[in-house]
Chains A and B, each alone.
Chain A
């Protein structure tokens, strides 16, 4: 079966702009989680969506938001971009949200200038 896909793969934005990233989970998976990966902080959990509802949230400012659609596809949005938002954003999908079942996407590399 097809893996988790993320679009776009690379993105360059300017400080103050906003950005939307997309994640298509494996068919049949209802849970989508988002992570931010940076050299300094490593992998940090952003939020998890299950059946269109945010079920868990990490410790990120309100500028980071997300949503999930009825087909389980998910988007995350970052408003008022800061230089420190430059990172690889990973999404992972699983059937019901069990951590060990997560399959990761290739990530979207966001660069903020």
Chain B
């Protein structure tokens, strides 16, 4: 069975501090990993996917197959980064059967 674990429900940091949102997964094949973000009163939206290896809004995430992790990082947090972040996994079929973690609320204080 596939599973995504986000161990922190809430992460509170000060503006300018580094941020790391943890995500661990369990999947027997080759998954595709994603980070989704939901800002207050906005829709859930894709932040980044591991295949693209992009930096979006200063965030990066590296897939570590050995540790089965896909942690989201940003060197300097901004207040506008405050949001709910979800790590998600899709099986190798790529179809829309996303398995989500329970999410981590990131609060960035001034």
Contacts and interface: CB of A to CB of B under 8 A. Distances in A.
B97 A48 contact: yes
B44 interface: yes
Q: Chain A: interface secondary structure? A: strand
Nearest to A49: B96
Contacts of B43: 3, 104-107
A28 B103 CA distance: 30
Contacts of B96: 31, 33, 48, 56, 92, 94, 97-99, 102
**How extensive is the interface on chain B, given as a class?**
20 to 34
Interface in A1-51: 3, 31, 33, 35, 41-45, 48
Contact of A42 (B49, B90, B95, B101): B101
B34 interface: yes
Contact of B34 (A90, A99, A107): A99
A83 B99 CA distance: 24
B70 interface: no
B46 interface: yes
Contacts of B99: 45
Interface of B: 32, 34, 43-46, 49, 51, 86, 88, 90, 94-103
- In the A-B complex, the 9 residue pairs with the smallest Cβ-Cβ separation, listed nearest first, are A99-B90, A42-B102, A43-B100, A33-B96, A104-B44, A97-B95, A56-B97, A48-B96, A97-B96
